[in-house]
Structure formats: structure tokens, C-alpha cells
Chains A and B, each alone.
Chain A
Amino acid sequence: MTIRKLVSATLSALAMSAAIAATPAAAGEVKIWTLTFDNNSANVAWDKIIKEFETANPGITISREGRSVDEHKAALRVAAQSSEGPDIYFMWAGLGLGGEFVKAGLSKPLDDYYKQYGWDDRLVGTAASFSKIYPGGRHGVPYTFHGEALYYNKALFEKAGISELPKDYDQLKATAAKLKEAGIPAMTFGGTVNWHVMRLMDVILEAKCGADKHDQLMDMKLDWSSEPCATASFVELNEWSQNYILKPFMGIDQGQSFNLFLAGRAAMMLEGDWLVGQLRDAGKIADYDIFPFPTGTDRLYGFAEYLYVSSKSSQADDAAKFLDFMLSDKAQQDNLGAFGSISINANVKYDKVDPLDQKWMDIFAKYTKIFMNGDQAFPLDVTTEYFRVINEVASGNIKPEDAGKAMQTFIANRG
């Protein structure tokens, strides 16, 4: 082969590959990017729903790509720079995570679709409320909704002589003190994953500051260094970590913490509704009960995972049609328990539920307002500093009185 022929063949091959790569997505193809869910029943349910949707809607094909958390975030960032990308993408709700994408204009407002399909008539109100927190319209639809509460070991409470559940924060501290007197650490956390100990700070902040100030601090509209309730919260966090948390906790993760909880080494754990399944799998569901963290406000601690429609999607109508199918009474009923213990659809019927599941349903029915986890409320960089400050206070490395100043300095330097 002469050089000229070789060059010519190479150029032809390159041109062909470019042509193939440039081929747009087929008409009627909706691309969905999600996580590869640890809970495999979610992956199975996705495949099932997609198959049923395609059967019911000839002409629309759905392709779903699952990735690990960091890969998913990186893929979305790359997609943000190109014309290629998903029509629907998974992201947590909240200004810190989903909000970054909304702020960058990568999420399509769904107000019209909410009206067209009447989603509000079937969605659990608290789950759907996250779609309203963004500026410029409603963004995303709920995929899962999780509440977090205190799980407690009934036998350990009994052993410590605790017969009544705490109704406010002071009573909770008295309960912790009583457990300590009986030689039982009140709570267990895993410090290597920063968000686990963060939960304690989040709920203390709600208890000490009240709902309004809590939200203003999270919105960075109040000064962390001069707000007395912020400092009081760090003081409380320090007190809990020094006196009432099973030690050592900074070198273990949430999984190890759960194992210690199962082994009866601590009396309480601040966890989400998903823990019911884990307790069931461990065969110990009867040994535990739950109560919401007594913050004294009328809000439940929780967060949501959402599915957003990309602003770059050329298949937005088909994407919305698929979301409507996914949120439907039938799809949610058929796949109950696959995505989370509680469906985001309010019309779903629960049969043969465990008492703990029932407790969660009662909690969800009782609360109409929520306050979300710090790592979903803050922008990402502030979250990292929030983690650092919490860990320093919990480890006793910085004084609680100086923690608010550290937070505020970081926030002020962001400009």
C-alpha cells in the first residue's frame, strides 16, 4: 500500500467514525442517567418499568445508564459542556446538589408538566415540596423520599429504666444521661463518613435555633459567629460527643456503627427509614422502635432524591411522559419497596407492613414540613467546611465557641 493510499484510507475511516459519532439520538429515544443503585431491587424495578413503558408507548425507547456516585457527577459535568447527555438525570434534591445543576441552567422547569399530568394530586406533599425550593419554577420530580428519626433498642431503654419516650430536646438529654448512668452509650455514629455525625448537628441546630433561624443559618443569611443558638448547638454537639456517643467513633463508618447498634453496644441511632429493611434482614426488627428526634419544631428531618429533566433535552415531552408513568399509582404499587420503604405516591396501599414501617407511615402522615440534611442544604464547598468544623468540635480539637466563627469566616471568604 502506498503512503497516499494509506493516508486516504485513514482519512476515510476517520470521516466515517466522525459521521457515526455525530449521529443524533434516534427520535423518540429518552436517555436516563441514574446511579447504579446499591439496592439491586431498584435496578430490577427500573428495568421492569422501562419495559412496561416501552410496550405501552411504541415509538418511544428508553435507555438507562447507571454509574457510581462520583462517576455520575463527573459524567453530568461533562454532559453540561456538550450537546450529548441525558434527557432525565438523577440527583439529590436541595440547593447544594440538585440546586447546582438548576443554577447552571441544566434543569428544565416542569411547572407545565406538573399541571398537565396532575402530579400534585398523587405525590406525597413533603416529597414534592422539594421541587418548589429552586428559583425560576419547579424542578424535578421525587424519586424517593426519606425521613430520619431515632431508632432505639427497646431492651436497653428498659434496662436503663426508661419507660417514656422523650418529648423535647431536654428530655432527650435526660434520657441520654440516664442511659449513661446505666453504663450504656446513648448513640452510635460513624465519623469517617462526615455526613453521619453531621445529622446530629443538623437536628441539634433545629432544636436550639428553631425552624426559621435554622433555615437562615443554612441559607447563610444569619451570621454563624454571632448567632447565639449556633454556638449553643456546637456546645451541645461537643457535649454529646464527649458524653453520650459510643467511643471511639471518628475512625468507623456508618456500617460499622450499625453493626455496633445491632450488637447492643449503644441505645440509639439517628437513621433513615431505609434502616427498617436492614433491621429486617438482620432478623432483629422486633428489638427496635423509632421516634422522631424531638426538635420541638413541627418539621421532620429528611431528604429526597429526584429525577430532573435536562434543559438540553430535545425529548422533554417524552421524558415527562415517562416520568408520569414512573410516578403512576400502578408503577409505584407494583414496585413498592424497591426504591425506598415509602413510596412517593400517596395513593399506594400498604399491606402486611411491619410495625416499624407503620410507624414511619404515621410519621410521614403527621409531618407536612421538613428540614433537610446539611449536606443537601449547603453548597458543596460550604458542606465540606461544615463537615470539617463538626468533626473538629466532635473530636474536641476546636472549642465549640470558636466553631461558629470558623464557619462564618469560610462563608464570608466565598464572596
Chain B
Amino acid sequence: MSKKQPPLRAGMEGYFLLAPALIVYLLFAVYPMIDVIRMSFSSWNGLSPEARFVGLGNYRAILTQDPVFWGALWNTIWWTALAVVIPNLVSFGLALALNQNLPGRSSLRVVFYLPVIIASIAVATIWKWMYDPFFGLFNGLLMGWGLDGLIVDWLGDRKFALWSVFVAHVWQAVGFSMVLFLAGLQSVSITLIEAARIDGAGRWGVFRYVTLPALGPTITIVFVLSLINSLKAFDIVYGMTGGGPAQSTQMLAMWAYTQSMQLGVFGRGAAVSVVLLLITLVIVIPYMRWMFRREEMGK
């Protein structure tokens, strides 16, 4: 290049190259989000040409009159709290085990990862059959062992339904975090581990002071991904219970969809979505800021 580009031109080129992706992002991510917020202040049935402005009416309705909303909110919080902890602890344990020189290690990694690539709706169908109260695997085993008294309507009894779906979710979700943890474990510097051993660190010492700190960024990613995925839990619950029995497994994301697409009350559905968005932001933003600050300080 013989001529030097003026700085403004160089900047414009950058924007020009960024433009296609930016336009797609603005059109298909930012605009719908803004439109959902706008819609949450309107009453619209999806059929009439005009939406009517109702101010905070939809929020008042979901917070004070909707018999399902608070249950769905509680279920979403319950699900998120457990889904962030339990599958990740299991997958971390699996990753640690499968990072050792075990016979058949590669095959085991594939086996544990397989549920991840199965569509959630297929996972829901498989587990639904296993939970079938009359012909399913679990009640069949209980009956086979003579434990007829322990037979349960796994998906039909509100005491068990959400737990039953959650177990299916754990089965499906574990493989994904396991792979991330495995990648993190394999990137831990051998030199550091050996140095720690030379300094007299035992297994626990190496894990506590070398492996765990090195996994910091991976843990952040796994946590944030689990959190976001849990807050928007939909497909497996929808496939297994549809929110029932009597809305006892209803989730916020599913309730937003039901309100909008099935009941045709788009304003209320949008209001539920906005509440979900706010909850997500309130949890995710401070956590990410804290983690990034910690990482910056560690550099």
C-alpha cells in the first residue's frame, strides 16, 4: 500500500465491514426485544389491526390477578437454582474422572455427551415413557421389586412432577458442561502442576491452588450459560408436562409463550417476557462484572 489511509476513512471501513452483522443483529435481536417491551404496555389479541396502549395494565394483571404467574416465577427460580448447581457439580465430577487415564475414557466421554445432541423434545418423549405410571420403566422396576406401595404418578402428581422433569434435564445437560470442564482441565499448565508438586503440594493442594483457579474462566462461562439456559427453560418442560398438572410445572418462558401464542394475549405474554429479561439481567450482569473484574485483577 503506497498511500496512507486517512484515519476517518479507516474507521468508516471498519463500520462498513461490521454493517451486515450489525444490521442482522439490530433487526433480529435488538428490534424484537424493544418491540416486546413496547408490546408489554399494550393490549393486543394478535388479530385486531391496532394494539391499545394500557400503560402498566399488563404488569398489574400478571402481578396481581394472574393465578399462574407467581407459581411460574417460583418454579423458574427453583429450577435455575438447582440447574446451576446440580448438573454442573455432576459434570465437574465426570470431567475430573474422565480426565484421568481410565480405560475406555474416550468412549465414556462420548456416552456422557450423547444426550446433549438429542433434541430436547426427543429427550422429553423418552423420559415421559420411562415415567409412565402404568407401563413405564420406573414403576415397572418398583413393581418388579415388590415395592408397589412406592409407585408414583411421576408427571401427574404435583409433588413429583417438576423434580421428575428436572432429573431428565440433568441427564441431558451434564454432557455439555462436562466437555467445557474437560477443555478447561486440559488447558491447565502441566508446568504449574509439577511446580506445585515439587513445592510439596498433595492432590488436594494441586486441585485447590492450581487447577481450580485455572478453571476460573471456564467456571464463569459454565455458570453464565447454565443460568441463562435455566431461566429460559422451556422445551423439556413443555414436552414432558406442558406445564401441568394444573400449571404446577409452569415456567416463565413457557407462560410467556402460552399467553401470547396460545391465548392470544400478546401484551401479557410480553410483560412476562420483560419480567424474565429483567431477572436475567439482574443476576447475570453483576456476576459477569464481578468475574471479569476478578480476572482483570488476576492478570
Name the A residues within 8 Å of B263 (CB-CB).
Answer: 380-381, 384
Q: Is A256 touching B246 in the complex (CB atoms < 8 A)? A: no
In the assembled complex, the Cα of A251 lies from the Cα of B65 at a distance in Å of 28
Instruction: Name B153's contact: one of A106, A250, A409 (CB within 8 Å).
Output: A250
Q: Is B47 touching A191 in the complex (CB atoms < 8 A)? A: no
Given the contacts A381-B265, A384-B263, A406-B67, A251 and B49 also touching, CB distance less than 8 Å: no
Q: Kindly report which residue of chain A lies nearest to residue B160, judged by CB atoms.
A: A251
Interface centre among A265, A385, A388 (most CB of B within 10 A): A388
- Contact size class for A? 35 or more
Given the contacts A77-B264, A194-B244, A388 and B68 also touching, CB distance less than 8 Å: yes
Q: Is the interface of B mostly helix, strand, loop or mixed?
A: loop
Contact with B along A235-255 (1 / 0, CB 8 A): 000000000000111111000
* Stretch in B106-114, B127-135, B198-206, B278-286 touching the partner: B127-135
Interface centre among A81, A251, A384, A392 (most CB of B within 10 A): A251
In the assembled complex, the Cα of A250 lies from the Cα of B242 at a distance in Å of 12
In the assembled complex, the Cα of A74 lies from the Cα of B263 at a distance in Å of 11
- With an 8 A cutoff between CB atoms, is A281 at the interface? no
Given the contacts A81-B49, A397-B158, A192 and B133 also touching, CB distance less than 8 Å: no
Q: Is A191 touching B133 in the complex (CB atoms < 8 A)? A: no
Contact with A along B42-56 (1 / 0, CB 8 A): 000111110000000
Q: Is A252 touching B156 in the complex (CB atoms < 8 A)? A: yes
- With an 8 A cutoff between CB atoms, is A410 at the interface? yes
Q: Kindly report which residue of chain A lies nearest to residue B164, judged by CB atoms.
A: A251
Q: Is A101 touching B47 in the complex (CB atoms < 8 A)? A: yes
Name the A residues within 8 Å of B258 (CB-CB).
Answer: 384
Instruction: Name A385's contact: one of B67, B156, B265 (CB within 8 Å).
Output: B67
Contact with A along B136-159 (1 / 0, CB 8 A): 000000000000000001111110
Instruction: Name B264's contact: one of A100, A265, A391 (CB within 8 Å).
Output: A100
- With an 8 A cutoff between CB atoms, is B61 at the interface? yes
- With an 8 A cutoff between CB atoms, is A413 at the interface? yes
* Count of interface residues, chain B, beta-carbon cutoff 8 Å: 33
Q: Kindly report which residue of chain B lies nearest to residue A74, judged by CB atoms.
A: B261
Closest Cβ–Cβ distance, residue A4 to chain B (whole Å):
15
Name the A residues within 8 Å of B155 (CB-CB).
Answer: 192, 250-251
Which residues between 275 and 320 of chain A lie within 8 Å of chain B, taking CB atoms? none
Instruction: Name A391's contact: one of B45, B47, B245, B262 (CB within 8 Å).
Output: B245
Q: Is A391 touching B244 in the complex (CB atoms < 8 A)? A: yes
In the assembled complex, the Cα of A74 lies from the Cα of B47 at a distance in Å of 10
Which residues between 243 and 265 of chain B lie within 8 Å of chain A, taking CB atoms? 244-247, 258, 261-265
Closest Cβ–Cβ distance, residue B168 to chain A (whole Å):
14
Which residues on B are within 8 Å of A, measured CB to CB? 45-49, 61, 65, 67-68, 131-135, 153-158, 161, 241-242, 244-247, 258, 261-265
Q: 21 pairs across A/B with beta carbons < 8 Å?
A: A80-B49, A101-B47, A104-B47, A192-B155, A194-B244, A248-B156, A250-B153, A250-B155, A250-B157, A251-B132, A251-B133, A251-B161, A256-B132, A260-B134, A265-B134, A380-B263, A380-B264, A381-B265, A387-B246, A395-B158, A395-B245
Q: A101-B47, A395-B158, A410-B65 are in contact. List 7 more A-B contacts (CB 8 A).
A: A192-B244, A250-B156, A250-B244, A384-B258, A392-B246, A395-B157, A397-B246
* 8 closest Cβ pairs, A-B complex: A251-B156, A250-B156, A248-B153, A391-B246, A104-B47, A413-B65, A77-B46, A251-B155
